[in-house]
Amino acid sequence: MLYEIIKFPDPVLEKVAEPVTLFDDSLKKLVDDMFASMYAAEGIGLAAPQINISRRITIIDLSFQKRPEEKIVLINPEVIAVEGKQHEEEGCLSLPDIREKVTRAAWVKVRAQDATGKHFEVEGTELLARAFQHEIDHLNGILFISKISRLKRDLVSRRIRKMMKNGEW
C-alpha cells in the first residue's frame, strides 16, 4: 500500500510520536509500505508521522533501492552520542521543493529496535548522520525548517502560503 506524504503545516508533523510496543506482522507490513511510499516519493528517508501515523518508526535507504542490504529500519530510535558539525543543504518530503542549509552533528550513534523488537546500535557519518538526525527529529515533532534562521523560516513560510493560495501545495 502506498501512503500519501503529509505536507507541512499538518499538525501531525509537529507532534511527538508514540512509542511502538507491539512488534507483529502488521508492523512489518507498515515498514514495507513505508519503503514503497518513500521510493514512490523519491526520498531517502521517511518517518511514520509523514504518512499520518504518529508512531516512532523511521526508515532510511541512502542507496535508493540500489543496495537492499543497506536499508535501515529504526523503531523507537534515540541519538545516544554525537560528534563534530556539518552544515549542508537538506530537503524533506513533507516540504517539497524547499531546501535550506542546516547544521547537524557530523557523526551520530543511534540506539533503536528493529521490526522484531531486537535492540541494536548503529553509527553514521556525513549524509547518514544527517538522515538519522532529520528522521528522528520528525519523531519528536521537529522539522528541519525550525533549525534555520528566523528570517529564512519566514521566507519559507511565505513561499508555502503563496503556493497554498495558488493550489500548488
Any idea which residues carry the catalytic annotation?
135
- 134 annotated among ligand-binding-site residues: yes
Residue 33 in grid coordinates: 509500505
The whole-angstrom separation of Cα 154 and Cα 144 is 13
The whole-angstrom separation of Cα 58 and Cα 40 is 16
The whole-angstrom separation of Cα 102 and Cα 158 is 19
- 87 annotated among ligand-binding-site residues: no
Q: Contact 57/77 with Cβ under 8 angstroms?
A: no
Q: Contact 82/108 with Cβ under 8 angstroms?
A: yes
Cα–chain-centroid distance for residue 108? 15
- 92 annotated among ligand-binding-site residues: yes
CA torsion through residues 165, 166, 167, 169, sign: negative
Q: Contact 92/130 with Cβ under 8 angstroms?
A: no
Of 112, 131, 130, 129, nearest to 121 by C-alpha is 112
Residue ranges for the known binding site are 92, 134, 138
Residues making up the binding site for Fe cation: 92, 134, 138
